[in-house]
């Protein structure tokens, strides 16, 4: 059990830091947070993507008395459910109305306390770095009492605002090279990303899940990052990566997704069983992580561009699949509320050798879904084609990402 004076001291230090902290680049997600007394507002996302800064921005936008506490402070190690009573005393003394809890998932049964504070009429804001852990605990104790928003590294628009740049091919190339982690953009120090990568593997996966063969997990992570945009099947990785079972690899896949490090895109099918048995496409959270962790010696700009498109669509809250029928492939089927919104192909540069292949894959998907418009996102090219009676809009990435 901790001492109340220790918790109070940590809060004082953190709140003094907040007072000195500039507002920073406003995150695009900020205006969509509702003002509610009845629901906990949850921010979920990968480490170091700006969740703490977002909580501070939310705090500074609201003028009511508030309390902020980041539970990952080393001095709070061992914080238990019973220690929340001490926190209650501090909240009462401060006459706080808004509660901001950063990385609260490190405390067991935190959801019980959040539910209690909601019932007492407090507004509660929570951040966390583990999607599965948050969703499991929210689902059991906070059903119907929470609103969750995902935060990702800077979008291209946020990158432009942070760097005071205009949207054009030059700034887009910079974004492709650096990615969107705020601290790395600020410092340009690759050690920031290297430490982040191994923090996620060691702290969020290996330690949390008690993984014995840490080297196997790291080999798998590097393999996946080196094959961004490619298809993967768990069963085919056992032998080359010396991992004993497919079930273990699937567990590792879910751990990567929980931490937001790597996502896996399913093939579109009206049959959920077919979705499960088909290979999935690999997408890595950020271009900077690819740069520091990939074992590939090729630049593979096309797959990097495709990776950025995937995460931009995730930011926009879309339901995504890849398309593959009759040997024709299309990168993204974009849906909202089970309705087709867009069919998107990604090609870094359209050439005489690849244009017909890219068009035919897109056209096949447009035929399948009975839609007359499709999009090809490129690095710099723009144009409009009519292919077999259907319009294909070619748009450079820096324009697509800013509209």
pLDDT of residue 397: 98
| Lowest model confidence (mean pLDDT) among 87-96, 280-289, 383-392 | 383-392
Average pLDDT value over all residues in the chain: 94
Domain boundaries, the chain: 4-151, 155-300, 318-403
For 132-150, write each residue's pLDDT tens digit.
Answer: 555 655 666 677 888 888 9
For 245-281, write each residue's pLDDT tens digit.
Answer: 999 999 999 999 999 999 999 999 999 999 999 999 9
Compare 183 and 297 and report the one with higher pLDDT.
183
Rounded CA-CA distance 245/237 in Å is 9
- Tokens representing 145 are 């009492």
Angle, helices 246-258 vs 214-226, to 10°: value is: 70
pLDDT of residue 233: 97
pLDDT of residue 145: 86
pLDDT of residue 88: 98
SS3 249: helix
Rounded CA-CA distance 11/1 in Å is 17
Q: What is the DSSP letter of 27?
A: P
The CATH classification number of 4-151 equals 3.40.50.300
pLDDT of residue 140: 65
The string of DSSP letters for 313-364 reads: HHHTT-EEEEEEETTEEEEEEEEETTEEEEEEEE-SS--TTTHHHHHHHHHH
Q: Which of 34, 10, 152, 176 is closest to 90 using CA atoms?
A: 10
pLDDT reading at 96 higher than 80: yes
Give the confidence band of 91 by pLDDT, cuts at 50, 70, 90.
Answer: very high
pTM of the model: 0.94
pLDDT of residue 136: 58
Compare 143 and 176 and report the one with higher pLDDT.
176
Mean pLDDT (whole number) for 226-248: 96
Q: Which CATH architecture has domain 155-300?
A: Orthogonal Bundle (1.10)
| % the chain with pLDDT above 90 | 84
Give the confidence band of 358 by pLDDT, cuts at 50, 70, 90.
Answer: very high
pLDDT reading at 202 higher than 90: yes
Rounded CA-CA distance 374/367 in Å is 10
pLDDT of residue 147: 87
């Amino acid at each position: 059990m901790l001492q109340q004076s220790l918790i109070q001291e940590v809060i004082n230090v953190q709140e003094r830091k907040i007072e000195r902290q500039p507002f920073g680049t406003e995150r695009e997600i900020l205006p969509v947070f509702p003002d509610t007394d009845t629901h906990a507002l949850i921010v979920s996302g990968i480490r170091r993507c700006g969740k703490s800064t977002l909580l501070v921005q939310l705090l500074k936008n609201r003028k009511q008395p508030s309390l902020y506490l980041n539970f990952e402070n080393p001095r709070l190690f061992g914080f238990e459910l019973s220690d929340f009573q001490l926190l209650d005393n501090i909240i009462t003394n401060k006459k706080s109305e808004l509660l901001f809890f950063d990385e609260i998932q490190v405390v067991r049964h935190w959801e019980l306390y959040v539910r209690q504070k909601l019932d007492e009429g407090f507004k509660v804001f929570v951040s966390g770095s583990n999607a599965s852990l948050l969703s499991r605990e929210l689902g059991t104790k906070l059903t119907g009492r929470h609103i969750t928003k995902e935060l990702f590294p800077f979008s291209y628009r946020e990158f432009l605002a942070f760097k005071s740049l205009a949207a054009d091919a030059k700034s887009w190339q910079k974004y492709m090279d650096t990615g969107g982690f705020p601290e790395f953009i600020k410092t340009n120090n690759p050690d920031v990303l290297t430490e982040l990568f191994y923090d996620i593997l060691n702290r969020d996966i290996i330690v949390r899940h008690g993984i014995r063969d840490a080297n196997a997990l790291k080999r798998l992570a590097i393999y996946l990052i080196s094959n961004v945009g490619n298809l993967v099947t768990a069963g085919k990785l056992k032998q080359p990566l010396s991992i004993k079972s497919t079930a273990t690899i699937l567990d590792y896949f879910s751990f990567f997704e929980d931490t937001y490090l790597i996502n896996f895109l399913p093939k579109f099918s009206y049959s959920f069983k077919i979705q499960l048995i088909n290979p999935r496409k690999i997408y890595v959270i950020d271009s900077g992580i690819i740069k520091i962790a990939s074992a590939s010696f090729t630049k593979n700009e096309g797959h990097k561009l495709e990776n950025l498109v995937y995460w931009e669509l995730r930011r926009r809250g879309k339901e995504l699949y890849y398309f593959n029928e009759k040997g024709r492939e299309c990168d993204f089927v974009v849906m909202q509320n089970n309705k087709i919104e867009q069919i998107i192909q990604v090609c870094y540069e359209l050439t005489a050798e690849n244009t017909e292949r890219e068009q035919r894959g897109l056209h096949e998907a447009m035929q399948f879904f009975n839609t007359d418009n499709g999009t090809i996102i490129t690095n710099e090219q723009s144009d409009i084609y009519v292919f077999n009676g259907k319009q294909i809009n070619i748009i450079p990435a820096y324009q697509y990402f800013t509209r």
